Chains A and B, each alone.
Chain A
Amino acid sequence: MTQAEGASSNIYDLGYQGYEGPRLGRPAVAFGLLTQTLRAAYGIGRGGRAKIMPFLMLGLSVLPAILAVGIRALAAQAGAGDALEEASPIRHDTYQNLTATLVMLFCAAQAPELFGRDQRHGVLPLYFSRVLTRIDYTLARAGGLFLAIFIISIVPQLILSLGAILAAPDPLTGLRDDLPEIPRYLAVSLLASALLGGVATVIAAWTPRRAYATAAIIAVFIVPPIVVALMAELAVGDLARVLVLASPSDIVDGVNAAVFDTVSPNPTIVAAGLPGWTYIVAALIETAACVVLVLRRYLGITA
């Protein structure tokens, strides 16, 4: 305690200083929890080992983009022109499919950490006895996870865009060529992050045990596509076609194909032959359902 502080305080003159500074409102506190969640999803503020998995996933997901941009730049220098670009399998419309597994693994690793931890260690009463409501807490945590997934999904696309702009003979031409793609990959990344993040959040929120939650999330992403594909094999007909909409990972493939107006490399999507918009609607509805479910969990949980 400095002399000046001592002189100005006459009540707490035994060393304890009250807090006279500013106090932020609920929106600011919720935003603070959201950013803290986003940081925690990448292991920032959680020690070295917590950073390995998220940054490995992020690194692997941008790797193809960096390679593609590098090869393209070299090819352009060697005078290959657009030929290589057109032949390249690494494009805005194929990227979602390339990194889908990584994004799912990221969800499976980080959602249980973000949602199970507070439950396992009984920290929830401390959160709920502060400024935030249970709804604030839930939305801030879920929002943080969503942003973390969105980053993994959008950063490589941005690198591709940047590469396209820089590799073009004239950056403006490059930008003009790439511009129509930007809203498309934004839409795909938003919908995919929301749906996959939402599903992972619901499972993690209801399964405090981390290992179980991780296994359950992986199962929900991997098992339904197999079941759907099997049903299609067995020619169950219309049921199998609609069943695609119960498989989050297939929905994401469908959304990507619909938004980029391409044929999906996922045979289940091709076989189902559903109109593209159904996947988009399914993604929106299922994300909303996830939000409702996770809110119900946190409104009902004892804390």
Chain B
Amino acid sequence: MPLVVTSALTKRYPGGVVALDSLDLALEPGIIGLVGANGAGKSTLLRILLGLLPPTSGEATVLGHDVRTAGTTLRRFVGYMPESDCLPPDTTATDFVGQMARLSGLPAAGARERAAEVLRHVGLYEERYRPIGGYSTGMKQRVKLAQALVHDPRLLLLDEPTNGLDPAGRDEMLALVRRTGTEFGIAVIVASHLLGEIERVCDFLVAIDAGKLIHAAPLHEFTERTGTLAVEVEEGAVALAAALVAAGITATVDGRTVLVELEDERPWDLVRDTVADLELPLVRIEQRRRGLEELFR
């Protein structure tokens, strides 16, 4: 069953702001990155998928359930970690996550067990018996993840899970997200404006901008090799470029790097031979990958 399907999904807020503009998506289970700048419509899309926000027009289904009519049913199978602060400071993590489990329909005993287990999985141990108010940002983010996981959902929606974390905290949170998708076998949609982070955890990428779909494809397609060969030399870049151009190849100089267009297989050998002939100090030859950032230029 497809994880998420949307067709012509549109959300227009009162006041005329169009957050989603006729979005068509068909996503299969996996770890899916939802990237876009702030205000691109990521949070709006997640909240529509949860049935928290009604779309203005268009259709969306999650795990086969219509978000307009089957909100309570689909939310049984979906966990949500909002971007904003959402934890009461005067409650312990154990109590809070247990309460959230009960609100997802787990009976009292099962809720307690799951709360303890999930908090252990996100890496909260003794501190889970202390009130959340005293937690660090990293610990709070873990509690937010734990409450989204506590009812063993089939789909996890994470909105900027690394928000406010220091680099080490980001690494840990991203590792947790990756583990959730791989070891726990739960489909994940993670929204972020940080491409570098998304790239590290996702298999599939959905890029949106101003509510419109830019591209949706497996991650490797986003970063696939381009037709450019970058040849970095310590000196003599200009001479190298001139020699290559003389041989009938398109080459441009960019500082110490010569960018060679790969129209066919010829440049590979020619670059090697030319560098050898000119006795240039070669640093590296690499085929350029398309940067994710290019998507948003």
Contacts and interface: CB of A to CB of B under 8 A. Distances in A.
A129 B105 contact: no
Q: Is the interface of A mostly helix, strand, loop or mixed?
A: loop
Contacts of B147: 126
A259 to B, nearest CB: 38
Contact of A122 (B52, B84, B90, B106): B84
A28 B104 CA distance: 10
A171 B84 CA distance: 61
Interface string B87-120: 1111100010001101111111010001001000
B75 interface: yes
- Which 6 residue pairs across A and B have the least CB separation, nearest first? A19-B152, A129-B80, A23-B105, A16-B184, A24-B105, A130-B103
B212 interface: no
Given A17-B117, A19-B151, A121-B88, A131 B72 contact: yes
B95 A123 contact: no
A16 B184 CA distance: 6
Contacts of A46: 90-91
B40 to A, nearest CB: 19
A158 interface: no
A132 B103 contact: yes
Q: Is the interface of B mostly helix, strand, loop or mixed?
A: loop
Given A11-B185, A126-B80, A126-B86, A26 B110 contact: no
Contact of B80 (A29, A32, A125, A131): A125
A190 B75 CA distance: 35
A14 B178 CA distance: 14
B121 interface: yes
B71 A133 contact: yes
A25 B114 CA distance: 18
Nearest to B46: A129
A17 B63 CA distance: 21
A22 interface: yes
B99 A131 contact: no
A11 B182 CA distance: 11
Interface of B: 50, 52, 71-72, 75-76, 78, 80, 82, 84-91, 95, 99-100, 102-108, 110, 114, 117, 121, 131, 147, 151-152, 183-185
Nearest to B73: A131
Interface string A1-13: 0000000000110
Contacts of B151: 19, 23, 130
B183 A24 contact: no
A22 B110 contact: yes
Interface of A: 11-12, 14-19, 21-26, 28-29, 32-33, 36, 45-47, 50, 117-118, 121-123, 125-133, 303
Contact of A29 (B87, B88, B103, B184): B103
A123 B104 CA distance: 14
Contacts of A125: 52, 80, 82, 84, 86
Contact of A127 (B72, B103, B107): B103
24 contacts: A17-B117, A18-B184, A19-B110, A19-B114, A22-B107, A23-B105, A25-B105, A29-B103, A32-B102, A47-B90, A118-B88, A121-B85, A121-B87, A121-B88, A121-B89, A122-B84, A123-B86, A125-B52, A125-B80, A125-B84, A125-B86, A127-B103, A129-B52, A131-B105
Contacts of B72: 26, 131-133
Given A18-B185, A23-B106, A50-B90, 19 more contacts: A24-B106, A25-B105, A32-B102, A33-B103, A36-B99, A47-B131, A118-B88, A122-B84, A122-B85, A125-B80, A125-B82, A125-B84, A126-B82, A126-B147, A130-B75, A130-B103, A131-B72, A133-B72, A303-B52
A29 B152 CA distance: 17
A70 B30 CA distance: 70
B52 A130 contact: no
Contact of A129 (B50, B84, B107): B50
A130 B97 CA distance: 13
A164 B163 CA distance: 64
B229 to A, nearest CB: 41
A36 B95 CA distance: 11
Contacts of A45: 95
A123 B87 contact: yes
Contacts of B85: 121-122
A46 B89 CA distance: 11
Contact of A126 (B76, B100, B152): B100
B50 to A, nearest CB: 5
Nearest to A120: B88
Nearest to B89: A121
Contacts of B52: 125, 128-129, 303
B114 A12 contact: no
A15 B118 CA distance: 11
Nearest to A140: B103
A15 B84 contact: no
A214 to B, nearest CB: 17
Given A16-B184, A32-B102, A130-B100, A21 B110 contact: yes
Tell which of B80, B95, B105, B117 has the most Cβ of chain A within 10 Å.
B105
